[in-house]
Structure 1
């Protein structure tokens, strides 16, 4: 069986949560005899061979409101789709909706619905008819958590064709960190610290985290870069936060060392643009207590309040400060929550489980065809 994934970007051009999900599906499906190819648009049109799947890149022509468009991709999509048994779209990307209809490819298809469109409310009014026609035309829609299905008006509209397949990670792909890295971060971050990992974007709620830290002695390491980094650094300076370390983007060895050493993981995303939270899942995989906000998405599927961590109201620095204080001051509580988080990860969120569910769905679609 051959599956074609179609999305606006992928590794090595970008390293976000959707990219990680696609990679985990491709690698996991390969172990079950499924050949996967990924088509994206990029300024770099070279092909990347990951060993168990291939990434093709069509020339990027222009972008509108963070959505990439490519005339070249229409031809490339048609060529690759001709040899595919299943087309796997990843939403949201309006150009994929257009390509679906313009190329008139007639193959079994599904879409993984990663997020509602939250920020572009004005442009959304013009896009809605195309979006709804696209979602009505695909065979299956996959949501990454039952929480998101229940709180998304769009998914409720197409509920009869929605299935839930949670995002999964492969612990074997997280190699043990070197002693040198562990020693470096232990010396830099201290023996006890909270960790945040992610792109520094508007919906990550880091401004709320910084407000919560004012007047406390909680140490926090913030890993990542992004468009609001400058604003966050200015806020930290204004609040005179000497207990926050912006370390920028780091390599896998450094990230794994920090996940190994941290006391707990804090994830203050406050808007629905945060549909799941891969780094929250990484924290669970490493057996760490989790702190997140209730935004009606997959974050509260990964982190169950009182079981794997603490869930607080969104945009509430005081509630976040109190949650951090509970976990900071009670090592036994942090250990118990972290243990439960790891068990929940093992039961629900492994890459093997995710890949098997997708492969089963691919086969259902082809048999149906």
Structure 2
């Protein structure tokens, strides 16, 4: 384990907790998990504020938050990221980049890292900002060619992403995973007659929450707990009134992570009505499964959402933008609730735990280091290839 203990990893991403999103949560889990396993894992990201900050975690990990000058097409503009990457990137063995993030991509190009291992964590294709993609595509192609390995979050996304087909030989599917804590361990089957649905996410167009609201017209005895906030909040509340289902909906507002377990436990079925591949995985699905909640999700072309939720097993997959199909799926699950609930929990435990994700990442890190050693360079007494060592590590391993 000496190799793993000494390995230095730098994650690049848009933001980092407490600036939360699905990717940021994954970055946090990787940082904490890898440092617990004896690796050195730090983060370089953009700050959500116009200033630089350096945070040191309890595990002594460093979070470099570079000054942001605002956003362009959802991309944080932070030239400082280039400066810091050029300053200390060569002291790391592996650069683990979370995409899509054009700023991190540009920083890598300008840093000219010839010897470091670069891993791309391909969370999603760029789908909405087509004009940005037109400008960004040459940079993206360079990074795909330069990468030593590419991680996708599901086998389906790997098979269907048009950008990855020429690079499948260096791609690996590693599903996202979450902690199996006392708050989300097995739950008693006292909820099967509870007619409470739960949905959660940013109130933006691709989430498709309007179709969940419309489904309530066919489910008069059900209520919906809808957590989140965002630019469409006012529109969704007005829609609920227009549809005549306002009395069936409770808008929860933003729900903090520590509050989520009680909403999962008070609900019986989880809805993920997202309609485009901007929803590439649906991390909230595995949170629901961890609590034994069956899931109703949509079959989105090119997305891994319907791979995560196995149709007829952990829940039911329906066509996008179909409120009646959502309602029918809810009623179908209710007929055999205990089986769906048990299967949802089982699928979580078999595929989506945090330790499974970390095990796969650790194996990939060590495999890439092993290949780099076999590929040339002078081998130190620690078993490192000198091509991938900072001067401080060379001295320690001399």
For normalisation by structure 1, the TM-score amounts to 0.91
Q: Does 1:46 align with 2:53?
A: yes
Q: Does 1:211 align with 2:214?
A: yes
Which residue number corresponds to residue 154 of structure 2? Answer: 145
Is the 8 Å Cα contact of residues 82 and 108 (structure 2) preserved in structure 1? no
CA offset at residue 29 of structure 1?
A: 1.5
Partner of 2:125: helix, strand, or coil? coil
Q: Does 1:284 align with 2:289?
A: yes
CA offset at residue 151 of structure 1?
A: 1.4
CA offset at residue 367 of structure 1?
A: 2.4
Is the 8 Å Cα contact of residues 197 and 224 (structure 1) preserved in structure 2? yes
Aligned length: 353
**Could you tell me which of 196, 219, 226 is aligned with 1:222?**
226
Q: Which has the larger radius of gyration?
A: 2
Partner of 2:199: helix, strand, or coil? strand
Q: How does 1:329-368 map onto structure 2 within 5 Å? A: 330=335, 333-368=336-371
Partner of 2:53: helix, strand, or coil? coil
Q: Does 1:172 align with 2:188?
A: no
Q: Does 1:117 align with 2:126?
A: yes
Q: Please list every run of at least 4 consecutive aligned residues from structure 1 whose deviation after the TM superposition is greater than 4 angstroms.
A: 173-176
Q: Does 1:64 align with 2:72?
A: yes
- Cα separation, partners in 2 of 1:357 and 1:128, compared to 1, 3 Å: same
Whole-angstrom CA distance in 2 between matches of 1:206 and 1:346: 28
- Aligned-residue Cα RMSD (Å) equals 1.8
Name stretches of at least 5 consecutive residues in structure 2 with no aligned partner. 1-6, 186-190, 373-398
CA offset at residue 322 of structure 1?
A: 1.1
Which residue number corresponds to residue 255 of structure 1? Answer: 260
For normalisation by structure 2, the TM-score amounts to 0.85
CA offset at residue 123 of structure 1?
A: 2.4
Which residue number corresponds to residue 270 of structure 2? Answer: 265
Is the 8 Å Cα contact of residues 303 and 310 (structure 1) preserved in structure 2? yes
CA offset at residue 133 of structure 1?
A: 1.3
Whole-angstrom CA distance in 2 between matches of 1:105 and 1:173: 43
Query: Which stretch of structure 1 is more off in the superposition, 343-352 or 21-30?
Result: 21-30
Query: Which stretch of structure 1 is more off in the superposition, 147-156 or 190-199?
Result: 190-199
Which residue number corresponds to residue 376 of structure 2? Answer: none
Partner of 1:118: helix, strand, or coil? coil
Is the 8 Å Cα contact of residues 41 and 60 (structure 1) preserved in structure 2? yes
CA deviation vs aligned residue, 1:144-166 (integer Å, no higher than 9, x gap): 00011111111222111110111
Whole-angstrom CA distance in 2 between matches of 1:54 and 1:236: 45
Whole-angstrom CA distance in 1 between matches of 2:12 and 2:309: 30
Whole-angstrom CA distance in 1 between matches of 2:180 and 2:124: 25
CA offset at residue 80 of structure 1?
A: 3.4
Which residue number corresponds to residue 205 of structure 2? Answer: 202
Is the 8 Å Cα contact of residues 264 and 334 (structure 1) preserved in structure 2? no
CA offset at residue 292 of structure 1?
A: 0.3
Whole-angstrom CA distance in 2 between matches of 1:349 and 1:175: 13
Is the 8 Å Cα contact of residues 218 and 324 (structure 2) preserved in structure 1? no
Partner of 1:102: helix, strand, or coil? helix
Q: Does 1:33 align with 2:38?
A: yes
Partner of 1:315: helix, strand, or coil? coil
Partner of 1:154: helix, strand, or coil? coil
Whole-angstrom CA distance in 2 between matches of 1:292 and 1:174: 24
Name stretches of at least 5 consecutive residues in structure 1 with no aligned partner. 177-185
Q: How does 1:237-248 map onto structure 2 within 5 Å? A: 237-241=241-245, 242-248=247-253
Whole-angstrom CA distance in 2 between matches of 1:174 and 1:162: 34
Whole-angstrom CA distance in 2 between matches of 1:310 and 1:215: 17
CA offset at residue 338 of structure 1?
A: 1.4
Which residue number corresponds to residue 326 of structure 1? Answer: 332
CA offset at residue 251 of structure 1?
A: 2.5
CA offset at residue 175 of structure 1?
A: 7.2
Whole-angstrom CA distance in 2 between matches of 1:174 and 1:51: 23
CA offset at residue 191 of structure 1?
A: 4.7
Whole-angstrom CA distance in 2 between matches of 1:174 and 1:34: 28
Whole-angstrom CA distance in 1 between matches of 2:145 and 2:271: 37
Whole-angstrom CA distance in 2 between matches of 1:30 and 1:173: 22
Which residue number corresponds to residue 314 of structure 1? Answer: 320
